[in-house]
């Protein structure tokens, strides 16, 4: 079955430091992969997506993610974190045989220290 | 576009009462999803519709839950009777299955059953 694992429940980084959030997926076919961000009390906002082609994808707010098929990973990165990046981040895989149903990971809560 | 619109934003109800959550998807989107988010279980897909037809309702927890999509611009999720364990944030999302473009989420309805 399709699944997404985000191994880190919480991560704390200092403002200005680099960030990497881990995501591993399990899916038999070519995956469609997404990262969403959720600020407190808000819905989920799409940060970036991967369908095919270049394995390094750029998203909004200065985020990028790299797809590594050999490692079944789609890690999210940002070179310099801002305090406003504090939120919960969700990785998701699109399941094509169910009309692009999204299966989400458990999320990683990012805290930013000033 | 106003995005995915959910109402109400907050709902407090007594156990045993009927609760109806509403969603207006983005115009032109042909798929609609209902998710539930709790601390314990994260984001769970309850049901999804494609072209107003329910495709996968395997995530609906019990017969107390029902969802309808009478037309392309409106969907409801009903819980009858409600129980305290139904307390959660319920999100509606819409998308275009033709593009595999991820989904746009509404701001959610925070349901508290006392």
3-state DSSP call for residue A6? coil
pLDDT in tens, B87-110: 999 999 998 876 666 789 999 999
| CB-based contact B42 A43, cutoff 8 Å | no
pLDDT at A84: 95
C-alpha span between A6 and A104 (Å, rounded): 9
Task: Judge whether residue A18 has pLDDT over 90.
Answer: yes
Quick one: closest CA in A to B92, which residue? A43
Pairing of strands A108-113, A10-14: parallel
Pairing of strands A32-38, A44-50: antiparallel
CB A43 within 8 A of CB B107: yes
Interface test with B, best of A40, A41, A43, A59 (most B CBs within 10 A): A43
* pLDDT-derived band at A29, boundaries 50, 70, 90: confident
| CB-based contact A99 B55, cutoff 8 Å | yes
> DSSP per residue over B1-56, as a string?
----EEE-SEEEE-TT--EEEEEEPPTT--EEEEEEEETTTEEEEEEEEETTEEEE
pLDDT at B98: 65
Task: Judge whether residue A94 has pLDDT over 70.
Answer: yes
Interface test with A, best of B94, B102, B108 (most A CBs within 10 A): B102
């Amino acid at each position: 079955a399709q699944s997404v694992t985000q191994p880190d429940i919480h991560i704390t980084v200092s403002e200005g430091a680099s960030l990497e959030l881990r995501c591993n997926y399990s899916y038999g076919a070519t995956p469609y992969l997404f990262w969403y961000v959720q600020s407190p009390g808000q819905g989920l906002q799409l940060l970036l997506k991967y369908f095919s082609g270049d394995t390094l994808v750029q998203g909004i707010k200065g985020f990028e993610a790299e797809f590594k098929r050999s490692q079944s990973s789609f890690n999210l990165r940002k070179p310099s974190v801002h305090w406003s990046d504090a939120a919960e981040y969700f990785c998701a895989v699109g399941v094509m045989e169910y009309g692009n149903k999204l299966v989400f990971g458990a999320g990683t809560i990012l805290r930013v220290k000033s | 576009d106003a995005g995915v619109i959910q109402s109400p934003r907050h709902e407090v109800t007594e156990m045993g009462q009927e609760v109806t959550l509403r969603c207006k998807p983005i115009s032109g989107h042909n798929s609609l999803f209902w998710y539930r988010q709790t601390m314990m279980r994260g984001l769970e897909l309850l049901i999804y519709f494609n072209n107003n037809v329910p495709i996968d309702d395997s995530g609906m927890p019990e017969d107390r839950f029902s969802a309808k999509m009478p037309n392309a611009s409106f969907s409801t999720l009903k819980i009858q009777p409600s129980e305290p364990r139904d307390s959660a944030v319920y999100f509606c999302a819409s998308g275009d299955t033709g593009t595999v473009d991820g989904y746009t989420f509404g701001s959610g309805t925070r349901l508290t059953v006392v």
